[in-house]
Amino acid sequence: MIPEHAKRKNEHLSLAEKFYDQTHHQHPFDQVRLLPNALPETAVADVKPAIKIGRLHMQWPFYFEAMTGGSDQAKKVNTALARVAQKTGLAMATGSLSITFKLPQFNDSFKTVRKINPDGIVIANLGANVTVEQAQQAIDLLHADALEIHLNSTQEIVMPEGERSFRWAANIKKLIQHLDVPIIVKEVGFGMTKENLTSLKKLGVSLVNISGRGGTNFVKIEDRRNHDASFADLYQWGLTTPESLFEAQMVKDLTVIASGGITCPLDVIKAGVMGAQAVGVAGYFLHEYYQNGEDGLLQTVLNWQEELKRIMTILGCQHFNDLPQVSHVYGADLQNYIQQRL
């Protein structure tokens, strides 16, 4: 018998894959067009893809975003992701470690990530209601370089067994005050507003991942797990990733990471143009792994790395943080959104 929590982790993996194709008919990054540069005055050899996020040094501006851990299947996926991360120099976040407080028999499904990649950047992940001691325990388990705290009220509210009370702010402040590693506060695919980001900043948060709509959709995933209540009315809930990045532009002095619906190197670059200083990719790489195995995923990451450098070259950008200088125009929907939010 698989314990209930571990079963849930397996269902997240299989349902993310099941819904993968359906989620990509509408691609919010089509609303962002970059203008070409006929006179780039640079060369691929001069592009330096490494970035710095707060105290974190990453070799590449994109990384494996939080997905899994806490079951035998999750261990298999994390092991493959970690091996690819190790070979390609990508940073990697694990899925939420809260399951380790209930089912420590699956701790190996997380530990494998650090074992395979002793020198890589590994990021732990937890919900916003954990104690300082629990957070430290999760960080220690992975020897994590950073901790992501996820804000997932939309996901929880759709789950029959989910949380119904969302008073998180005071605890986030406490975690930031008491933990030594950098803390990234992230959404899980519904985006964040400038008001949210301003509130987080007041709590002492300096790193955020706005994780917007456009990729993995946790309303659909949890709704399918329920089999009874239908939350179809919430399938379009949330801000897209470009909309959220625009929100973040209105808040100064925050380091912004993007995720949600990133499906190609050009999306990574468009997120950079809109102000993201790093980019997380979850569903797309999971899909690649399920379709083409670990070797297919490895080849895809290598292709992305090369293509990213080439596109940066034709834009005349040698560093990822040069990208906000790139001229761009917005499609009608995104422009309409922006006008109403200014």
Binding site for Mg(2+), residues? 156
Beta bridge partners, 34, equal 328
Output b/e per residue, 59-68; b: 16+ Cβ within 10 A: ebbbbbbbbb
Please give the full DSSP string across 20-60, using - where no structure is assigned: TGGGGSS-GGGGEEEPP-S-----GGG-B--EEETTEEESS
* Residue 41 CB neighbour total at 10 angstroms: 8
From residue 141 to residue 170, the character string flagging contacts with ligand FNR as x (rule: CB under 6 A) and all else as - is -------x-x--------------------
* Stretch touching ligand FNR by CB under 6 A, among 107-115, 135-143, 181-189, 303-311: 181-189
- Look at the chain and count its residues: 342
Report the site for ligand FNR in 36-55 (rule: CB under 6 A). Answer: none
Q: Of 27 and 173, which CB lies nearer to ligand FNR in the complex structure?
A: 27
Closest CA to 109 of 85, 66, 79: 79
Q: Is 216 in the site for ligand FNR (CB under 6 A)?
A: yes
Q: Is 66 in the site for ligand FNR (CB under 6 A)?
A: yes
* Stretch touching ligand FNR by CB under 6 A, among 11-19, 133-141, 291-299, 310-318: 11-19
Among 51, 67, 183, 184, binds ligand FNR (CB under 6 A): 67
CB of 52 to ligand FNR, least distance (A): 21
Residue appearing with tokens 């090369």? 306
Task: Give Cβ neighbours of residue 110 (< 8 Å, ≥ 6 apart).
Answer: 69, 70, 78, 94, 97, 100, 141, 142
Report the site for ligand FNR in 298-337 (rule: CB under 6 A). Answer: none
With contacts defined by CB under 6 A, how many residues of the chain interact with ligand FNR?
27
Task: By CB under 6 A, name the binding residues for ligand FNR.
Answer: 12-13, 16, 65-68, 95-96, 125, 148, 150, 186, 188-189, 211, 215-216, 259-262, 281-284, 286
